[in-house]
Each structure stands twice: as C-alpha cells, then as structure tokens.
Structure 1
Amino acid sequence: MAGEGTISTAIVERVDLSGAKLGPLTLTDVVLRSVELSNASLQQVVARRVELRTCRAMGLRLSLELATDLVVEDCRLDYGLLHIEKVKGVAVFLGCSFREATISGDLSNVVFADCDFIDTEFRATRASNCDLRTSRFTTARGLLSLRGATIGPEQAVAVSNLIAAEAGLIVEG
C-alpha cells in the first residue's frame, strides 16, 4: 500500500498498515489505536493533536516534519527509525520500547516517560527540554548528542559507563 494525503478528525482502530509507504501525510485530531505499523514508512508527516496507542510498529520508519501535541503510548517501536524535525508544544512517548532503534533530529520538547532504550542509538541535533527522567538506558549509544536533556540522579550513575565508553575511556575497578 502506498499513498499520501490528509486524515482529519478520525479514530483509526485495529487496521493493518504493515509495510505501507505513506507520505507526505498530514494528521490532525487523529487517534491510531492498536494499529499494525510494522515495517511501514511514514515520511514527511505533520502530526497535530495525534495519539498512537498500543500500536505495534517494529521496523517503522517515521519522519516527523512537525509534531504538535503528539502522544505515543505503549507502542513497540523496536528496530525502527524515528526522525523529528520540529516539535511545537510537546511530544510524549509513554511506556514505549525502542530496542535497536535509531532516534534522530531535534528532540527538544520531547518527553520519553517510562521508555526502554536497549541498544538504541541517539543522533540528536538538539535536545533542550528533552525529558528522559523515568526511562531506562540498558545499552544506548549517542548519549553525548543529548546535550540539554534532563535525566535523574539514578540514571546518571547508570549511564556513566555508557558515556565513558562513548568518550573512549576505559573503566577498570
């Protein structure tokens, strides 16, 4: 499936969009619930007041040109590529999994709450007001690109070895 266009004021529920190639795509006042987005490609997306809830999106390639009040909750975004150009208001990822995913672009005003970052690679161009305080960094790379992001004191200890390794330091006991 391939296409482009606009979806406004809609609830999309239990639809299989796996492998779809969509874009440019404008979503306004849209809820995607339990949608299968695995291996889909959503490019040049403008998302205004959009919610993705309990979606399976493994291998999703998502490029957000603009996100205004975006909520992504309890979604599996493993093995995917998430690129964000600009956020107005806030973009919230709540309870999401990003195993072996790549997250790039301007992460300013993005909240990652209770997310899992296992073998995740960050390639942020900016990260001011990015909130990562309740998320888990098991094995992540590119943490130095997150300058300006907020983490908690426990996380600082947990990621210290990852940051040291990224900086080329050897930590020995």
Structure 2
Amino acid sequence: MKFRKIDERRSMRRPLFETDRLVPLEEAPDPDFELSERLVDGLEWKGGHGDGSLEQSLLRNVDLSETALSPFEIVDVTVERSVLANGRWERATARRLEITDSQLVGWQAQFSLAQDVYIADCRADFTGISIGTAKGPVVFERCRFTNATFLGDFSKVVFIDCTFPGADFSRVANAKGCDLRRSELSGITGLMSLRGALITADQAVDIAGELATAAGFKLA
C-alpha cells in the first residue's frame, strides 16, 4: 500500500495499480461499463453518459467535459492533466482517487462515499462538491474554488493552499474537524455552517468582520 503524507501526523492511501499491467483503452466505453487495469491516454469522451465502475487505472490527458456518470464507482484511479469541466458525477463512490493538474470548472461531483481522495493543482471555479459520507481523508491542495458550492459531510476534508472567492459553504452539514488552517478564507459565504472547523488565530482575525456579519451583528 502506498501512502501520501498530509502533515506531520496524518497520511492517506494512494491509488494502487501496476502500470505495466494496464491495457490501453482507445475508444469511449459503452454506457454500461466495468473497466479495470486500463491506461486511458488522450481519449475524448466529451458529452458522454454512462454508469459503471473504473478500477486500478490511469487517466492522462483525457477529455471528460460535459460527461455525466451516474451511478459511478471509481477505485484506485489516478487522473492527470485531464478535463472534467461541466461534467457530472452522481451517486459516486470514490476510494483511493487522485486528480491532479486538471480542469474542473463547472464540475458537479456528488460523492455518496469518499475515502482517500486527493485533488490538487486544479482550477475548480463554479464546481459543486457534495459528500454524503466521508470515511477517510479528502484533501484539496492548491485549488481555486471561485464561486464554488460545497455541501454535505466535510468532517474529513483538508484544504491546503486553496482559495475560495465567492464560494458558498452554507449547505455543509458537518464541518467538525474540517482543516482550513492552510488556506485563504476571505470571500467565503456560509461561514456559520463551518462550526467545528479548524482555523488559526490569524485567520480568525482576518475574517472577523465576515464572521460578525454572518452571526447577525451590524457593523457600525
């Protein structure tokens, strides 16, 4: 099992597959698919739809923009330099998933279950991230979430070096333990739904006015 270090105390499991066992997938899958041990490199499946599962696979330079997948199970998968913009993942189960250096603008991701999910270096403006149950770490690192929407269980989520101008957290149901200590919090709406999240004293000072307004105080 491979691990990614989150901080000095925590780590998460990484996708597990053997690269030399992967079989190239050269055309878009059927709407009802079960794929395992696949190398998907440069494939275009724009505007597609389907339901199924993808396991122990590597996706690289793939265009999944406007593609709707529901239900969808994705396990032990790495996605690199790909486009998921304006796509929809509904009733998705994700375990040991990594998405890096990808275009996520407008992506709507509804995770029924998320465990060991790592998303980094992505432009994620206007995304909608929903987590029904988080059983393991969910880490977002160096992502921009302009006007994004978050809802559900964020108790296992860690944000590292992320920004949230205009992002809406008002529908987060559980933020106890959500780690925001290494991100920029200015511009967030729905701050009161983040009760129990971890922030630093300096962050609390920076957003004091926004917190006061969210709590109902009138600044004069």
Q: Which TM-score tier does this pair reach, normalised by the shorter chain?
A: over 0.9
| The one of 125, 128, 134 aligned to 2:173 | 125
In 1, Cα distance between equivalents of 2:132 and 2:209: 30
The one-letter code matched in structure 2 to 1:54 is: D
Where 2:181 maps in the other structure, the secondary structure is: coil
| The one of 106, 111, 129 aligned to 1:64 | 111
Question: Offset at 1:171?
Answer: 2.1
Q: Show the counterpart of 2:217.
A: 169
The one-letter code matched in structure 2 to 1:115 is: C
Are 2:208 and 1:160 equivalent residues in the alignment?
A: yes
Question: Offset at 1:170?
Answer: 2.3
TM-score (norm: length of structure 2): 0.76
| The one of 137, 141, 165 aligned to 2:189 | 141
Q: Show the counterpart of 1:88.
A: 135
Which string of whole-angstrom CA distances, capped at 9 and with x for unpartnered residues, describes residues 114-156 of structure 1? 1101000002100111100011122111110011110011110
Q: Show the counterpart of 2:95.
A: 48
Q: Which runs of 5+ in 1 are unaligned?
A: none
4+ residue stretches of structure 1 with deviation over 2 A?
A: none
Where 1:134 maps in the other structure, the secondary structure is: strand
Q: Show the counterpart of 1:13.
A: 60
Q: Show the counterpart of 2:45.
A: none
Structure of greater Rg:
2
Q: Show the counterpart of 1:105.
A: 152
Q: Show the counterpart of 2:19.
A: none
RMSD: 0.9
Question: Offset at 1:45?
Answer: 0.8
In 1, Cα distance between equivalents of 2:93 and 2:194: 24
The one-letter code matched in structure 2 to 1:34 is: R
Question: Offset at 1:96?
Answer: 0.8
TM-score (norm: length of structure 1): 0.96
